Amino acid sequence: MKGPSVAVFGAAGFTGALAARLLDRHPWFELRTVTARSEVGRQLVELYPHHRVSLELEELDLERQAAVKAAVVAYPHGQAATLVADLRGRGVRVVDLSADFRLRDAAVYEQWYRAHTKPELLAEAVYGLPELYRERIRSADLVANPGCYPTAALLALAPLAREGMLEDIVIDAKSGVSGAGRATTEKTHFVTVDENVSAYGVPGHRHTPEIEQELAALGARLRVTFTPHLLPLDQGELVSCYVTLAPDGQRDLAPLYEKTYAEEPFVELSTAPPGVRDVRDTNICRISVHRDLRPDRAIVFAAIDNLWKGAASQAVQNLNLMFGRPEGEGIS
Amino acid sequence: MKGPSVAVFGAAGFTGALAARLLDRHPWFELRTVTARSEVGRQLVELYPHHRVSLELEELDLERQAAVKAAVVAYPHGQAATLVADLRGRGVRVVDLSADFRLRDAAVYEQWYRAHTKPELLAEAVYGLPELYRERIRSADLVANPGCYPTAALLALAPLAREGMLEDIVIDAKSGVSGAGRATTEKTHFVTVDENVSAYGVPGHRHTPEIEQELAALGARLRVTFTPHLLPLDQGELVSCYVTLAPDGQRDLAPLYEKTYAEEPFVELSTAPPGVRDVRDTNICRISVHRDLRPDRAIVFAAIDNLWKGAASQAVQNLNLMFGRPEGEGIS
Amino acid sequence: MKGPSVAVFGAAGFTGALAARLLDRHPWFELRTVTARSEVGRQLVELYPHHRVSLELEELDLERQAAVKAAVVAYPHGQAATLVADLRGRGVRVVDLSADFRLRDAAVYEQWYRAHTKPELLAEAVYGLPELYRERIRSADLVANPGCYPTAALLALAPLAREGMLEDIVIDAKSGVSGAGRATTEKTHFVTVDENVSAYGVPGHRHTPEIEQELAALGARLRVTFTPHLLPLDQGELVSCYVTLAPDGQRDLAPLYEKTYAEEPFVELSTAPPGVRDVRDTNICRISVHRDLRPDRAIVFAAIDNLWKGAASQAVQNLNLMFGRPEGEGIS
Amino acid sequence: MKGPSVAVFGAAGFTGALAARLLDRHPWFELRTVTARSEVGRQLVELYPHHRVSLELEELDLERQAAVKAAVVAYPHGQAATLVADLRGRGVRVVDLSADFRLRDAAVYEQWYRAHTKPELLAEAVYGLPELYRERIRSADLVANPGCYPTAALLALAPLAREGMLEDIVIDAKSGVSGAGRATTEKTHFVTVDENVSAYGVPGHRHTPEIEQELAALGARLRVTFTPHLLPLDQGELVSCYVTLAPDGQRDLAPLYEKTYAEEPFVELSTAPPGVRDVRDTNICRISVHRDLRPDRAIVFAAIDNLWKGAASQAVQNLNLMFGRPEGEGIS
């Protein structure tokens, strides 16, 4: 028997389409509706043959579409908030993939994005990183799915943050092109990306305040330098975190990570630096931690698939928690 | 009329082969001999059709081959020193692409590589980064061509080092696969690299002491964290340098870089972060400098082609200087 | 409850490792043993982190390892036959990934490979392309898993062959590098393959007689020109078949293909030419058929994942059939 | 001293920009003007940093810009004809990169493209493949630069065509993404192309009549099947030609090719199938010819760089011929 009905709003983009695929094959949820803004009337399988989802992309029509128990919203930042509010108003439980409900402080949101149109919902939103907020997610009605970079960075840094060991942080991130979305721009043209690598969003990429907010919640109030780079690959994201350690902290890092993540089903530790191939098409975050003794520093690498753990499969992980299902159902 | 005769020792590898090509087409030097250890008897053009060098790879035979004015040595670290000494003993002026004569202190070399077999030659060697040592290179008989990562990192950091502005440095480097050389290993297998990115040599890659030595020579005595990553592209190298600035220094970075490099023919400044495509198949280092004001830090990017400015074309640049030719002859 | 025990012999290579992964997660079969020739004692998960199979690669020891109901043999051509014979002698049902039992005529095998060491087993072997031999596979004890190119080419051409419509055929094939195996050679070095494309095995690649044998079995006795090319991608294979049609045949090709494949779970038809991304990590063969009216010719494209439908998942498909399981179990 | 002044019209696209670079560094021609339709006012070096051409893209203004001796026109098909006519009316000698003057029969052009707006100029145009029309190009005022696929296909097939050996031809072509131009579409998005390969323009790509026209001019009147495929690489194009040989012709193919191309500076013969890396960033076409004896067929491969010999450097080769310069000046 199938469980609760679900809709994916904004399923023409990379992350929405993948969420639709994962929910379409999910043993419990029943994917009922997929909507889009630009490809209305087309079959999702035409746009994404490899997802094999036989549903038509519909125009937004909440009267009809909101008769679901849960929704994944994959709208651009700034445009998601209104739809999320409408869905919540109709009692639909929502996982939102945008940044609109990740920052708890509307003023910070406004500084990095624009004025928030639904600040009244911020208090209700739970930050959807299960490894940090599992219990709160279970009872949440609105989950703000983390950004892809914050997902990897926070899983890399949380053990150190909790122990008060972070004194200064540089995060150098590398991402595949799917992270830039389906929009066809000069930046995503094959000839621009191929045989190339360069930084973007320098300085001050928008994921910075999200990382800082959550580190602070773990007890580490500091400013981070975060710089992403675009790489010639499609899926995959690696964050390389360079941490100046607080002077008095412990230094035995491997056991700390092992203890922290021993029970986590989707965090893997490795001794060698992880590669993004190791986690492609999975909900797994793979982490290695190292010490550089010459300048005393910790180096932590974390690899995820930006479309999976960095977006769509983490959304399903959150839905599983919200509806009392096994956390890995449909994404293992 | 052709000028001095040159030989390339170790021309079967990527950097030696490219040096051979550049010298073969050089308007002044006359490439007379190419040697190899593993592909003796084959035409260089068979191994590297795109270089179009019609010479046969010879076995080493200094009696015959040392009758040249200049040599480029492209042997592995540790194996170059003896050959270089033999060539110097016969009066040949040498540019050595290995690490054997880059570190001025034999003890440091031993710590990172192995015991040095020709420490007596260290005093004679000049570090072949023309932007730092142009005058000394002109009269040098033995030039130690810099490592690819140090080339980019030092050009990125020299302006800050000279001004005493470096307090702490993290260097996150990204390189194409040609930097790993022609050896066929699991690491260089297409399926290992494709759609992947990961760090290697963590912590403490061997280029670290070379960077520290030259920063110290510029007045900045400090330990650096340097971590390279392997990327799915063939040629190209980007270093992302995160610099904690000394508290009292000036903060107007762009003019400092413009002044430093105004007259340099092979350093380009850009306002946007450079991509390695911008410098592919050139001797150019392209640099951008940025300020992150939130944590007060400078971010400097430098892109080079690891086989060109990072190795072979810089060797020719050095030869040009050593023989009184226009610095860019044959490599512009 | 778990079903029959299985072993994978030769699990260090790409196809054997993937077979191990698929069987390790298979809901019915129980993967008990994985062997290797070159990486004995290592965990399979070390070599292939993304497969996440927690078994150690063992040395071959049939006394112990042959106590299984079924085996997948992933040995090189010429070396598989003996092991297969030993396994059959102990009553193990085998799917062999090598070419050793694909050609029914030992003389043809000898002409393209070498003298056959176990010709007496040829009569027993069934060609493991389920879309052609499904019923025979169900009762087979020895299944010769098809080559990757023949899998795609035969699925592309079978409808025309059965109708007697083939008069002349050119097959131009394109493959990702994983098809060349895990061996580290100049051919598989990233720098050789990247930004490149070239033909290999010209003329007369060894998959030619396999294609001709099976076309003949369908009634089309003719010689084919088959030329593969190596492409800068890891998984995926496309065959482009150019068919001169017999003069009197019907010309309405699309309905013929639709009728042929209407019930096939792993054959997809598309109107647009398929891309290998459409079938990546699946057991699906995606086909489109076109008419060129100017020179009267049919053009048929078929895309598969060479490691999946071209090797490992097709092996599992065959095992499913042999043991009376749902054909797509563990590979859908 | 600099020679004749040149303008490039349409220099914002890939081929026009490369033509501008080659002419900017040309020892004889003086590049005076570059125009664009979509990026007016921007520096060419902003769009293409690696070309390093310090000119501003101007809006079209023939009053001013036509005061040049020669022009390269890099406009889309159908839009070039009018500009070319205007330039010819002002006495400017033109190399046109579009298809507008390649087909000598306006009716054929109309069938494959649209009604021709300047059919009166067709008689004057010379097909700009120097290896076939060198003498006529020398005195031409309007040269129609060949398409990239026809360039490779005709060089591959000309020796057989002249000998009357062509009976039937299948051309399977593979191209990098730069051949699709700078337009940002779903087709050129990195995520569409990466790890993918598929055919396009099936059946009947527009380069077909151009190939047929020139084969006919060589004495081979036949229809060809031509199918291009898009590959995950930026520059490079390979054509694989499968030729059914006329029954009575000679069969000793290698000497025929050697004789044909012995004196050609930009055609290379190789015994192994060529790769596109061998000719990257060159004006060279690299060819190998093979016999498949089982079905009696010739297989000919030809590799070019689609942006160079397939477009911009061939345009310069033509300009060199038109102005009495050494054929390889500025492109060797």
The residue segments making up the domain with residue A31 are 5-145+311-322
Is C191 close to B185, i.e. CB distance below 8 A? no
Which residue in chain C is spatially nearest to D273 when comparing CA positions?
C199
Is residue C182 less than 8 Å (CB to CB) from chain B?
Answer: yes
Using CB atoms, list chains with 3+ pairs below 8 Å to chain D: A, B, C
Contact at 8 Å (CB) between A149 and A167?
A: no
Contact at 8 Å (CB) between D175 and D230?
A: yes
Which residue in chain A is spatially nearest to C277 when comparing CA positions?
A50
Is B277 close to D50, i.e. CB distance below 8 A? yes
Is residue D286 less than 8 Å (CB to CB) from chain B?
Answer: yes
Contact at 8 Å (CB) between C299 and C291?
A: yes
Which residue in chain A is spatially nearest to D178 when comparing CA positions?
A191
**pLDDT value at residue D293:** 86
Tokens matching residue C203: 């003329």
According to DSSP, the residues that pair with B237 across neighbouring strands are: B175, B304
**pLDDT value at residue B307:** 98
**Average pLDDT in the D158-168 region?**
96
Which residue in chain C is spatially nearest to B192 when comparing CA positions?
C190
Contact at 8 Å (CB) between C202 and C170?
A: no
**Could you tell me if B291 and B177 lie in one domain?**
yes
Is B316 inside a domain boundary? yes
Most C-contacting residue of A50, A269, A281 (CB-CB within 10 A), to test interface: A50
According to DSSP, the residues that pair with A5 across neighbouring strands are: A30
Is A184 close to D184, i.e. CB distance below 8 A? yes
**Could you tell me if B258 and B277 lie in one domain?**
yes
Q: How many CB atoms lie within 10 A of CB C185?
A: 11
Residues in chain B within 8 Å Cβ distance of D274: 49
**pLDDT value at residue D1:** 60
Is D328 inside a domain boundary? no
What does the alpha-carbon distance between residue D120 and residue D134 come to, in Å, rounded to a whole number? 23
**Could you tell me if D155 and D73 lie in one domain?**
no
> How does DSSP classify residue A281?
T
Q: State the Cα angle at D269 between D267 and D273, rounded to 5°.
A: 120
According to DSSP, the residues that pair with C31 across neighbouring strands are: C6
**CA dist D294 to C212, D291, D298, Å?**
12, 9, 11
Helix (H) or strand (E) holding A205: none
> How does DSSP classify residue D43?
B
Most D-contacting residue of C108, C172, C197, C288 (CB-CB within 10 A), to test interface: C197
Options A148, A241, A284, A322, the catalytic residue: A148
Is residue A233 less than 8 Å (CB to CB) from chain D?
Answer: yes
Is residue D243 less than 8 Å (CB to CB) from chain A?
Answer: no
Q: C3 vs chain A: nearest CA distance in angstroms?
A: 22
Q: Per residue, what are the HEC states of C151-186?
A: HHHHHHHHHHHHCCCEEEEEEEEEECHHHHCCCCCH
**Average pLDDT in the A210-216 region?**
98
At D203, the pLDDT band (50, 70, 90 cuts) reads confident
pTM summary value: 0.97
Residue pLDDT, tens place only, B270-298? 999 999 999 999 999 999 999 988 888 99
**pLDDT value at residue B203:** 87
Residue pLDDT, tens place only, A241-294? 999 999 876 778 999 999 999 999 999 999 999 999 999 999 999 999 999 888
**pLDDT value at residue B299:** 97
Contact at 8 Å (CB) between C148 and C237?
A: yes
At A301, the pLDDT band (50, 70, 90 cuts) reads very high
**Could you tell me if C153 and C295 lie in one domain?**
yes
What does the alpha-carbon distance between residue A69 and residue A94 come to, in Å, rounded to a whole number? 9
What does the alpha-carbon distance between residue B285 and residue B304 come to, in Å, rounded to a whole number? 5
User: Domain holding D221: CATH number?
Assistant: 3.30.360.10
What does the alpha-carbon distance between residue C200 and residue C181 come to, in Å, rounded to a whole number? 15
Is residue B281 less than 8 Å (CB to CB) from chain D?
Answer: yes
Q: A327 vs chain B: nearest CA distance in angstroms?
A: 28
**Could you tell me if C33 and C158 lie in one domain?**
no
What does the alpha-carbon distance between residue D130 and residue D138 come to, in Å, rounded to a whole number? 9
Which of the residues of C are catalytic?
148
**Average pLDDT in the D49-77 region?**
96
Under 8 Å CB pairs connecting chains A and B tally to 155
Is residue D208 less than 8 Å (CB to CB) from chain A?
Answer: no
**Could you tell me if B171 and B192 lie in one domain?**
yes
Could you give the percent of chain D with pLDDT greater than 90?
95
Is D331 inside a domain boundary? no
Is A231 close to B236, i.e. CB distance below 8 A? no
Residue B1 has pLDDT above 90, yes or no: no
Query: Which residues, in sequence order, are CB contacts of B258 under 8 Å at separation 6+?
Result: B269
Q: D214 vs chain B: nearest CA distance in angstroms?
A: 29
Which residue in chain D is spatially nearest to C289 when comparing CA positions?
D202
Helix (H) or strand (E) holding A184: none
Contact at 8 Å (CB) between A91 and A139?
A: no
**pLDDT value at residue B173:** 98
What does the alpha-carbon distance between residue C75 and residue C36 come to, in Å, rounded to a whole number? 9
**CA dist B117 to B79, B114, B120, D103, Å?**
9, 9, 9, 69
Is A332 inside a domain boundary? no
Q: B225 vs chain A: nearest CA distance in angstroms?
A: 7
Residue pLDDT, tens place only, A80-111? 999 999 999 999 999 999 999 999 999 999 99
**Average pLDDT in the C12-28 region?**
98
Residue D138 has pLDDT above 90, yes or no: yes
At A296, the pLDDT band (50, 70, 90 cuts) reads confident
Residue pLDDT, tens place only, A120-175? 999 999 999 999 999 999 999 999 999 999 999 999 999 999 999 999 999 999 99
**Could you tell me if B293 and B189 lie in one domain?**
yes
Is B204 inside a domain boundary? yes
Annotation says B148 is catalytic: yes
Residues in chain A within 8 Å Cβ distance of C277: 50
Tokens matching residue B282: 């050139």
**Could you tell me if C116 and C163 lie in one domain?**
no
Amino acid at D312: A
Query: Which residues, in sequence order, are CB contacts of A316 under 8 Å at separation 6+?
Result: A19, A22, A23, A26, A283, A330, A331
Is residue B130 less than 8 Å (CB to CB) from chain A?
Answer: no
* DSSP state letters, B228-293: EEE-S-SS-EEEEEEEEEPTTS---HHHHHHHHHTT-TTEEE-SSPP-GGGGTTSS-EEEEEEEET
Torsion angles phi and psi, residue A223, rounded to 5: -90, 135
Mean confidence (pLDDT) of chain D: 96
At B254, the pLDDT band (50, 70, 90 cuts) reads very high
Residue B35 has pLDDT above 80, yes or no: yes
Side by side, which strands form the sheet with D237-245?
D198-199, D224-230, D166-175, D237-245, D297-304, D285-292, D267-269
**Could you tell me if A113 and A241 lie in one domain?**
no
Tokens matching residue D18: 């490369």
**Average pLDDT in the B59-68 region?**
94
Is residue D39 less than 8 Å (CB to CB) from chain A?
Answer: no
User: Domain holding D67: CATH number?
Assistant: 3.40.50.720
Is residue D97 less than 8 Å (CB to CB) from chain B?
Answer: no
Kindly provide the ipTM of the predicted complex, given to two decimals. Answer: 0.96
Residue D55 has pLDDT above 80, yes or no: yes
Of A185, A191, A234, which has the smallest distance from its Cβ to D191's Cβ?
Answer: A234
The interaxial angle of helices B14-24 and B312-322, nearest 10 deg, is 50
Greater confidence (B204 vs C127) lies with: C127
Interior/surface letters A262-274, b for 16+ CB within 10 angstroms, e for the rest: eebbbbbbbeebb
Helices (H) and strands (E) in chain C, counts: 11, 14
What does the alpha-carbon distance between residue D215 and residue D150 come to, in Å, rounded to a whole number? 10
Q: C305 vs chain B: nearest CA distance in angstroms?
A: 14
Which of B300, B310, B307, B311 lies closest to B172 in space, CA to CA?
B300
Q: D279 vs chain B: nearest CA distance in angstroms?
A: 6
* DSSP state letters, C181-224: -S---GGGBHHHHTT--EE-S-S--TTHHHHHHHHHHTT----E
Tokens matching residue C25: 């997660």
**Average pLDDT in the B86-114 region?**
97
Contact at 8 Å (CB) between B177 and B189?
A: no
Options B148, B154, B158, B321, the catalytic residue: B148
Tokens matching residue A165: 């060991």
What does the alpha-carbon distance between residue C139 and residue C132 come to, in Å, rounded to a whole number? 14
Q: What is the dihedral of CA D197, D203, D209, D210, to 10 degrees?
A: 0
Options D22, D80, D148, D284, the catalytic residue: D148
At A1, the pLDDT band (50, 70, 90 cuts) reads low
The interaxial angle of helices D148-162 and D207-217, nearest 10 deg, is 30
Is A327 inside a domain boundary? no
Is C327 inside a domain boundary? no
Q: What is the dihedral of CA C10, C14, C20, C21, to 10 degrees?
A: 170
Residues in chain D within 8 Å Cβ distance of C282: none
Residue B191 has pLDDT above 70, yes or no: yes
**Could you tell me if C205 and C109 lie in one domain?**
no
Is A299 close to B222, i.e. CB distance below 8 A? no
Mean confidence (pLDDT) of chain A: 96
Domains held by chain C: number:
2
**pLDDT value at residue A27:** 96
Residues in chain B within 8 Å Cβ distance of A231: 174, 197, 231-232
3-state secondary structure of C265: coil
Residues in chain B within 8 Å Cβ distance of C195: 234
Is A190 close to D195, i.e. CB distance below 8 A? no
What does the alpha-carbon distance between residue D233 and residue A305 come to, in Å, rounded to a whole number? 23
Contact at 8 Å (CB) between A220 and A254?
A: no
Mean confidence (pLDDT) of chain C: 96
Is B331 inside a domain boundary? no
Residues in chain D within 8 Å Cβ distance of C166: none
Most D-contacting residue of A18, A190, A307 (CB-CB within 10 A), to test interface: A190
Least confident segment among A312-321, C241-250, D29-38, D106-115: C241-250
**Could you tell me if B222 and B271 lie in one domain?**
yes
Which residue in chain D is spatially nearest to C234 when comparing CA positions?
D195
**CA dist C231 to C148, D233, D284, Å?**
15, 9, 21
Which residue in chain D is spatially nearest to B280 when comparing CA positions?
D50
At B247, the pLDDT band (50, 70, 90 cuts) reads confident
Is A191 close to D232, i.e. CB distance below 8 A? no
Is C280 close to A50, i.e. CB distance below 8 A? yes
**Could you tell me if D73 and D162 lie in one domain?**
no
Strand B142-144 to B198-199 pairing:
unpaired
Amino acid at D215: L
Least confident segment among A244-253, A295-304, B14-23, B230-239: A244-253
Helix (H) or strand (E) holding A87: helix A80-89
**pLDDT value at residue C248:** 75
Is D197 close to C236, i.e. CB distance below 8 A? yes
